[in-house]
Amino acid sequence: MQQAVNKYKDDPDVAFLFIHTWETSKTPVADATKYLTDNNYSFDVYFDLKDDKGSNPAVTQFGVKGIPAKFIIDPEGSIRFRGSGFGGGDDELVAELSAMLDLLKKL
């Protein structure tokens, strides 16, 4: 995630939103905050905490079936690419996201 943020930090047409969800810890905010701090990550993370029915609202709204879930959303708010899971390394993930962003910019 940090590599992708670094790559696109000067591109005004690209913004990242990272959402922490499906946490099983009793202290998800503290745990995620510590993880970000310990790893010197410079991006913000939003929390999709369980509601009073035990559901995660963002997961439900976007129909997430697995994590990590990745969405590329165009300037009009339409989801143009979506995927979940990843078995490669950091460089491969950045390449995958870059390919999708490059395609979207050409449309």
- 63 with 51: CB under 8 angstroms? no
Nearest to 80 by CA among 44, 43, 105: 105
| pTM for this predicted structure | 0.76
pLDDT at position 9 is 93
Domains of the chain: 2-106 (3.40.30.10)
pLDDT at position 56 is 93
Q: Which two tokens stand for residue 87?
A: 């078995």
Q: Cα–Cα distance between 105 and 103 in angstroms, integer?
A: 5
pLDDT at position 86 is 77
Q: Which two tokens stand for residue 59?
A: 């997961």
Average pLDDT per consecutive 10 residues, the chain (107 residues; last block may be shorter): 92 89 90 94 90 92 87 87 82 89 87
